[in-house]
Structure 1
Amino acid sequence: MNLALHTFLFSVYPYLCLAVFLIGSLVRFDRDQYTWKSDSSQLLRASQLRWGSNLFHIGILFLLLGHSVGLLTPHFAYAPFISAQHKQMLAIVSGGVAGSICFVGLTLLLHRRITDPRIRATSRRSDMAVLIILWLQLCLGLASLPWSFADRGDAATMLTLADWAQHLLTMRPEPSALLAVPVVFKLHLVLGMTLFVLFPFTRLVHIWSGFASLAYMWRPYQLVRSRRLHGPRRAARARREI
């Protein structure tokens, strides 16, 4: 990979993606709230959706949580409890299982959307694009497992990726740290960041609503009281009932 392109992709591009992700989501919510939905196709065909959707969402939520914790947790925070090698093996096994579950679910959803004429006719190009990109991203993630397994001895690749992500978070990007990382990991990172660019312009925005619904867990109960009628209004209502 060209050094200038490498520097751009792993030092500037992440911040561009984050800016588009946040500002684009805010603008869409402000201007096009009626398009802020998941556009479910359950009414057109319920079969295959239940398995595909459940498997996909279970897998993708675990992967998102695992990637966030694995990449953004400093090494010193977990070193007293688990070694880097054991942490990498845990990530390989759990990520492989969750990725396989997600892959099966997403493949079912993609097959359903492509092969059903009614669903395909009502699908937008962005719907198909998101499913295909997510499918490719999962393929890259699963394809990186053999490299991770071969690297389990010193967990160098995992530590390098985590160090790069944590430097991004603290506004101190170090793209040179990824020069020796296998290309499959780089493609996985770039495609993952690209999904953040596409996020505000596709049905993916409904993820915000999913996280926002957690607020209902702490929302106080709504009290509903019967309205008491007094005086002339009560008498008028009694006459109507008679």
Structure 2
Amino acid sequence: MNTTSSSPLAAPATGAELLLWVAVPYVCLAVFVAGHVWRYRQDQFGWTSRTSQLLEHRWLRWGGPLFHLGAFMVIAGHVVGLAVPASWTGAVGIDEHLYHTGAVWAGSVAGVAMVAGLGMLCARRLLSRRIRLGTDRSDKVLFPLLTLTVLLGISATAAHNVFGGGYDYRGTVSVWFRGLFVLAPRPEAIADAPLLFRLHALSACLLFAAWPFTRLVHVWSAPVGYLVRPYLVYRRRGTAAPALPARPAGTRPRAVGGTGGRRS
């Protein structure tokens, strides 16, 4: 694949670039962290996925696994593509052509699964009246924002790395992303990236800012403990105890000790 890469510009960033690629990401990151702390302290009972399986399960049976499987693959691909420098993958024998070929194919499969699953989840929420009535304000923000972020990411990959000439985002977008976490922001690195990549990055920042106020918080409460908890021991119920003989009407039960219930 013939990938093109834009080297980060040496010229200083403009005010708009500082706002979009430094201020906005840091504000969203601060809201992400502080929002989770606030949500955990103020709304622990709401720290759930708010499942609606009891209301409708046919669409959920297929949409839920597809979406989560695709999401796990997409997250793993983003971690490798954004957090791991190209020199590291090259050191283990993975050149740019091999990396981008694998990323495009695996990313396409993950994207299709995620879009299909998300489409089913959105459809059941729109078509089922009972689920639609249970949709709160956070869901009305989350689902459009999540859909926008996913579609922008797939569109960027398809337009530039599937049907286009190829674009090496690890030389631009990844440099900007890693710079944020080492407190050395490089806004000029992403400023000249294709528009779809920039829109995808901005929508992802907004998604992270909205994260702590939506049902997405349930990802931090995965039941990992179930994998290592002790087995539950079930004992077979024994035979029923024999019934006590019936007492004659009007008699009182004898007290323990054989006193017949009389006070000494």
- Same-fold call, TM cutoff 0.5: yes
Give the equivalent residue in structure 2 for 1:147: 160
User: For the structure 1 residues 177 and 54, does the alpha-carbon distance in structure 2 shift closer, same or farther, using more than 3 Å as the test?
Assistant: same
The answer to whether 1:9 aligns with 2:20 is yes
Give unmatched runs, 5+ long, in structure 1: 225-238
**Aligned equivalent of 1:137, options 149, 162, 181:** 149
Say what the alpha-carbon RMSD is for the aligned residues. 2.2
Change (3 A) 1:8 1:215: farther
Q: CA deviation at 1:220?
A: 6.0
* Equivalent position of 1:24 in the other structure: 35
CA distance in 1, matches of 2:226, 2:123: 35
Aligned counterparts of 1:121 and 1:76: Cα–Cα separation in 2: 51
Partner of 1:221: 230
Partner-residue secondary structure (3-state), 1:43: coil
Note the C-alpha offset of 1:19: 1.5
Q: In the TM superposition, what is the alpha-carbon distance from 1:15 to its structure 2 partner?
A: 1.8
**CA deviations over 1:188-231 (Å, ceiling 9, x no partner):** 00001111110111111111112xx33554x563899xxxxxxx
Distance 1:89 1:223, change over 3 A: closer
Whole-Å separation in 1 of the counterparts to 2:218 and 2:152: 25
Please tell me whether Structure 1 or Structure 2 has the larger radius of gyration of its CA atoms.
2
Residue of structure 1 in register with 2:100 after alignment: 88
**Unmatched segments (≥5 aa) in structure 2:** 1-12, 234-255, 257-264
Counterpart-to-counterpart distance in 2, 1:197 and 1:48: 29
Match of 1:227 in 2: none
Give 1:104 shift. 0.5
User: Secondary structure of the equivalent of 1:24?
Assistant: helix
Q: Contact 1:53/1:105 (CA < 8 Å) preserved in 2?
A: yes
Matched, 1:78 2:89: yes
What residue in structure 2 maps to residue 231 of structure 1?
none
Provide TM-score, normalisation by structure 2. 0.77
- After TM superposition, the structure 1 stretch with the greater mean CA deviation from structure 2, 159-168 or 57-66, is 159-168
Is this contact kept in 2: 1:110–1:132, CA < 8 A?
no
Counterpart-to-counterpart distance in 2, 1:29 and 1:93: 38
**Matched residue, 1:48:** 59
Residue range with higher mean Cα deviation, 121-130 or 192-201: 121-130
- The structure-2 alpha-carbon separation of the partners of 1:37 and 1:223, relative to structure 1 and needing over 3 Å to count, comes to closer
Greater percentage in helix: 1
* Aligned residue in 2 for 1:233: none
SS at match of 1:103: helix
Matched positions, count: 220
- Following superposition, the deviation at residue 65 of structure 1 comes to 1.4
C-alpha deviations, 1:111-144, integer Å up to 9, x for none? 1101111110111021132112111111111111
1:187 lines up with 2:224 in the alignment = no
Q: Does the Cα contact within 8 Å between 1:148 and 1:157 map onto a contact in 2?
A: no
For residues 124 and 223 of structure 1, what CA distance do their matches in structure 2 show? 37
